[in-house]
């Protein structure tokens, strides 16, 4: 049935009252509920009604805080990345030796992408019904791209201190994180076994940092 003129369809986001203060506890509850449901059912398999029910709020409250499901998905990805790799990790911090700083970032990144939740999210993004939508690009922009841009900024600042020679910081950032993931991440995504032993992971991360630093060591004048 076609809605009457001037009436709102039930699946459209109601407009929140301008200037109305947000309840931060409800906002956090919505975000956590969305994370759980997206991982359990995929983005397409979850409705705003379900998210509202899981969070214990009304659907109007969900729309008021996040606007639509796609924006909520982006917020969930961004929050997860910010929690695991906070901005402080990418500070120049010249007092911290560069190998130590890169190893800390490598550990945090590998720890983030190797969790069961991250592996499930990666698989969701590869599902045929998702790859044909705008969600993979939204996921990339909210998560991996933001992390790589932050890391590229760190490389540029360390280069200014004479500690690196990086002609293309963006490309180097991509290389670093792909190096850190290595075979271990691919095996987890493919379901080929449990995560490697901690000592094996640590040796891989150390070797990845060492290789990266050798590749971008300052050139002789």
Q: If phi over 0 gives left and psi between -120 and 50 gives alpha, with beta otherwise, what is residue 219?
A: beta
Task: Look at residue 140 in the predicted model and tell me its pLDDT.
Answer: 92
Same-domain status, 189 and 131: yes
Averaged pLDDT, groups of 10, the chain, 221 residues long: 38 48 86 90 89 95 92 90 90 91 96 88 83 88 94 97 97 97 89 81 96 95 71
List b or e across 51-82, with b for residues whose CB sees 16 or more CB atoms inside 10 angstroms: bbebbebebebbbbbbeebeebbbbbbebbbe
Whole-number pLDDT of residue 125: 84
Q: Could you tell me the residue range of the domain that residue 166 belongs to?
A: 85-215
User: In the numeric block, which tokens belong to residue 212?
Assistant: 């990266």
First-residue to last-residue Cα distance in the chain: 75
Q: Is 84 helix (H, G, I), strand (E, B) or coil?
A: helix
> In whole angstroms, what separates CA 112 from the centre of its chain?
9
Shared domain check, 186 and 90? yes
Q: Looking at residue 3, what is its pLDDT?
A: 39
Secondary element (H or E) of residue 179:
helix 169-189
Q: Does residue 61 belong to any structural domain of this protein?
A: yes
**pLDDT at residue number 80:** 86
41, 212, 57: which is closest to 49 by C-alpha?
Answer: 57
Q: Is residue 209 part of a domain?
A: yes
* Whether 111 contacts 84, CB under 8 Å: yes
The per-residue pLDDT for 116 is 85
Q: Are residues 63 and 109 in the same domain?
A: no
HSE, side-chain direction, 13 A CA sphere, residue 42: 14
Report yes or no on 43 lying in a domain.
yes
The CATH number given to whatever domain includes residue 95 is 1.10.357.10
| Whether residue 142 sits in one domain with residue 39 | no
Q: Taking the mean position of all CA atoms in its chain, how far away is CA 56? A: 25
From 40, 58, 77, give the residue that closes a domain. Answer: 77
Let me know whether 55 and 158 are in one domain. no
58: CATH: 1.10.10.60
How many structural domains comprise the chain? 2
């Amino acid at each position: 049935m076609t809605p009457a003129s001037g009436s709102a369809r039930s699946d459209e986001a109601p407009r929140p009252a301008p200037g109305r203060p947000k309840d931060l506890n409800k906002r956090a509850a919505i975000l956590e509920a969305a994370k759980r449901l997206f991982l359990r059912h995929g983005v397409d398999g979850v409705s705003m009604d379900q998210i509202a029910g899981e969070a214990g709020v009304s659907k109007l409250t969900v729309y008021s805080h996040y606007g639509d499901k796609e924006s909520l998905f982006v917020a969930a990805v961004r929050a997860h990345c910010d929690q695991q790799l906070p901005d402080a990790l990418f500070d120049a911090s010249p007092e911290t030796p560069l190998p130590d700083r890169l190893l800390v970032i490598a550990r945090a990144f590998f720890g983030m992408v190797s969790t069961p939740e991250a592996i499930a999210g990666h698989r969701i993004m590869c599902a045929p019904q998702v790859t044909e939508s705008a969600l993979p690009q939204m996921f990339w922009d909210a998560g991996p791209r933001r992390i790589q841009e932050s890391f590229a900024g760190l490389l540029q600042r360390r280069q200014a201190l004479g500690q690196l020679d990086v002609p293309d910081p963006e490309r180097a950032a991509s290389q670093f994180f792909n190096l850190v993931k290595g075979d271990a991440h691919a095996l987890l995504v493919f379901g080929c076994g449990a995560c490697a032993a901690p000592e094996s992971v640590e040796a891989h991360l150390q070797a990845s940092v060492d290789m990266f630093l050798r590749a971008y060591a300052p050139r002789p004048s």
